[in-house]
Structure 1
Amino acid sequence: MDLSTSTVLVTGANRGLGRALATELLSRGATVYAGARNPDKVDLPGARPVALDITDPASVSAAAKTTKDVTVLINNAGIGTGTDLLTGDLDNVRLEMDTHYLGTLSVVRAFVPQMAANGGGAILNILSALSWYSFPNTGAYCAAKSAEWSLTNTLRVQLADQGIRVAGLHVGTMDTDMTREVSGPKTAPADVARLAVDGIAQGAYEILADDVSRQVQAGLAGGVAALYPDLP
């Protein structure tokens, strides 16, 4: 795919990975709509700010009416509440699912018609190594990302005949606001963005951004014993 002739919508583009993705795409000549709940917080020269709250159907619908030329959609907007499934607030569990799963689906449903009308294109869903592996203290996030992974697989098959290629990006820990309290190595968002955009250009279905994602994916073939060796 020639991204220099593409028009891309990036959700959650005002900071973190979303901002890095928008920056990378602009550097390659793409036209970029930068979606954010508060478009005034988008400070990227050359980007076109768009008001977009993916958990608000009216906001999603309005954004789709504002943009008529999107050919690439990057579903990056997300949230991390750090909620335990057994002991955490159920409202936070719902918020995670409403954002990562239902919010992503809402945006896809709103923008696929214009993408198909424009001859097809690509969708990239920003997933996680935690789509495949769960930690109890972030169970809500893991469950929502796992649901988004399943959504990605379904869309990949369902949209193929409309000329829309659907990819998923899996990444471990990035150096963003969401992981400020997490210790250990963190990948720079700019590096992940470069790999992600390369993947879109190459037509990849699955993009693994780091060793953590590659190791967890490899563990899937080994089943529960491989992923959770400490279980009795």
Structure 2
Amino acid sequence: MIKGCTALVTGGNRGIGQAFVEELLAQGAAKVYAAARNPADVTTGIPVRLDITDPEQAAEAARTCADVTLLINNAGYFANERLIMTDDLTAAREEMEVNYFGTLTMIRAFAPVLGANGGGAIANVLSVAGMVPSPFMGGYSTSKAAALWLGTIARAELAAQNTQVTSLIVGSVDTRMAAHVDGRKEDPRDIARAGLRAVERGEPVADTDWMAVDARARLARDPARYERQLAKLLTVENLRTGR
């Protein structure tokens, strides 16, 4: 699946996306397209100009990269804004536009490409915040939850053309997006390795790290208590930051 594949990674210019590009090449991928809004920012892989919220650019990428057998939907956006206690819905709309509609746009654009190339695979890089509701990142959490169900639906719709769809549940990672987060953070390359292992095994949903496993376990053990704890932590955070 990985060795000899032709992959396209969105948001491939930094963070987890760049780690996927590097790991794919290290594991023997024949070709890796690294897509970014500004291809000049790409340092590894074949640069491709792509804004995933633009259907025309997604369609052009599908035409240009018609040999893709593995699509990794990694590009995402976190506005770091409240969902309810905020002045307007701009941030939440932008998060949904990138994290859900952008991912949907890419799947729609590349599904025919993957089908023509034997089926291939799609990996959607999601978040533990999409599996476990997170008041600290309300709009991001809901948009990633929508993308999680999108993966399930895409898996069903594309089963007839033998396209595998894997949803990767990712915890806190040492990237620019998580720069404001304290505590343990995973190395992006470790996330990429775990994600590619899940694709190789054909897993529908896979936790990539300790935080993802732990959060899901705590929610499963006592959902009400877990929700109360999150609310308490959010209250403390509001007092500290004034938000």
65, 68, 89: which is aligned to 2:66? Answer: 68
The TM-score, its normalising length taken from structure 1, stands at 0.93
Give the match for residue 40 of structure 1.
Answer: 40
> Aligned partners of 2:207, 2:132: CA distance in 1, in Å?
14
- Taking a change above 3 Å as real, the CA distance of residues 223 and 197 of structure 1, as seen in their structure-2 partners, is same
Offset, 1:227: 3.3
Looking at structure 2, the residues matched to 219 and 205 of structure 1 have their Cα atoms a distance apart, in angstroms, of: 21
Q: CA deviation at 1:173?
A: 0.4
Cα deviation, residue 74, structure 1: 0.3
CA distance in 1, matches of 2:136, 2:201: 36
Q: Check 1:219–1:156 CA distance in 2 against 1; reply closer, same or farther (3 A cut).
A: farther
**Aligned residue for 1:216?**
215
In the TM superposition, what is the alpha-carbon distance from 1:120 to its structure 2 partner? Answer: 0.5
Q: Secondary structure at the match of 1:79?
A: coil
Match of 2:84 in 1: 86
- Letter in structure 2 aligned against 1:144: S
Matched, 1:6 2:10: no
Deviation at 1:94?
A: 0.5
Q: Could you tell me the percent identity over the aligned residues? A: 43
The equivalent of 2:239 in structure 1 is none
The residue identity in structure 2 corresponding to 1:206 is V
- The answer as to whether partners of 2:131 and 2:169 remain within 8 angstroms in 1 is no
Question: 1:132: which partner in 2?
Answer: 131
1:117 offset after TM fit, Å? 0.6
Q: Distance in 2 between matches of 1:148 and 1:59?
A: 20
Q: What code does the residue aligned with 2:106 have?
A: V
In structure 2, how many angstroms separate the alpha carbons of the residues matched to 1:111 and 1:226?
42
- In the alignment, the residues of structure 2 paired with residue 214 and residue 177 of structure 1 have an alpha-carbon distance, to the nearest angstrom, of 22
Q: State the SS of the aligned residue for 1:10.
A: strand
Number of the residue aligned with 2:236: none
Contact kept, 8 Å, 1:132 with 1:220, in 2: the verdict is: no
Counterpart amino acid of residue 58 in structure 2: V
Q: In 1, Cα distance between the equivalents of 2:159 and 2:77?
A: 29
Partner of 1:175: 174
**Matched residue pairs, number?**
229
Q: Are the aligned partners of 1:133 and 1:227 in contact in 2 as well (CA < 8 Å)?
A: no
Q: Does 1:189 align with 2:210?
A: no
Displacement of 1:216 in angstroms is 2.6
* CA distance in 2 between partners of 1:84 and 1:66 (Å): 39
Q: Does 2:99 match 1:119?
A: no
Tell me the equivalent position of 1:198.
197
**Structure 2 Cα separation of the partners of residues 187 and 68 of structure 1:** 33
How big is the shift at 1:83? 1.6
